[in-house]
Amino acid sequence: MRLRNSLAILVLAWPTCAGAFQDSQPAKSITEQAGDIEAAYQKKIDAVSKKLQDVADETERGKLGDELTALQKNLANDLLKLVRDHAREPDSLALLKKIADNGTFPEAQKEAAELLLAHHIVRAGVGEQAPALASANLELGLKFARAVFERNPNPTDKAIALFTIGFTLKQQAIAVQADEAKRTPLVAEAKKAFETAKEKYPDLKIGDALLLPLIQGQLAGLKNIGQLLPGKQVPDLSGEDLDGKAFKLSDYQGKVVLLDFWAHW
């Protein structure tokens, strides 16, 4: 009888015990949840990609291409939905940076950038997103870079931000170079950003690249904005010919000259 009563009590208590056991399991981190989402989508993406490789019909290829784009967009949106509810948490930084790096879906990228601005702008490494954002959206990249420079204490982040500010303003100046009134302040502000980076961070590296030569190249390019326009005199370029003999473009005044700009890395 006692054994039967004990079993009855255990059966009645089991739902409570099971719930307590489930509650004791640690919740998955944002990184783990994001990994689960990405893994699930990757299976679907791989399946569609395989079909795309095997299909010759252009109409069917178009449909599969659209399906692939939709899957990638939904993945970005689902990751954003996950991180939106946990944007203040430290672990959300890596996920937000991944979304902000992807310029394929501008709406998700913009929201990720705004969440980074709101919750992570002072954290080391966040400045790395500035160039990618500027490449996709000049205004958004400029806003982000300025916030990093003003608020982030990390020298590398500040240097990247200054370079992005200078580069972005330079691109804007090129776009309006025929309009001197608009061009002049943009060139002046870009020059200030580059020169500040040059003064404050001359020995800093971005990855394996020394920042200083990049800045010097940008400063040199600023001088020609507004000059390379129809009707303007060509700058007097100088260099060496294939035999090592020095020459200037002005040496060929009055002659037909073909300029071929190239480089190797």
pLDDT tens for the chain, 265 residues long, are 554 555 444 445 555 555 555 555 678 888 999 999 999 999 999 999 999 998 889 999 999 999 999 999 999 999 999 999 899 998 899 999 999 988 888 999 999 999 999 999 999 999 999 999 998 888 999 999 999 999 999 999 999 999 999 999 999 999 999 899 999 999 999 999 999 999 999 888 877 888 899 999 999 889 888 877 777 777 777 888 888 888 888 888 888 888 777 765 5
Distance separating the N- and C-terminal Cα atoms of the chain: 88
Position 19 scores a pLDDT of 54
C-alpha pair distances (Å), 166 with each of 130, 142, 152, 171, 207:
12, 9, 17, 9, 19
Q: According to the model, what pLDDT value does residue 2 have? A: 54
What's the whole-model pTM score?
A: 0.74
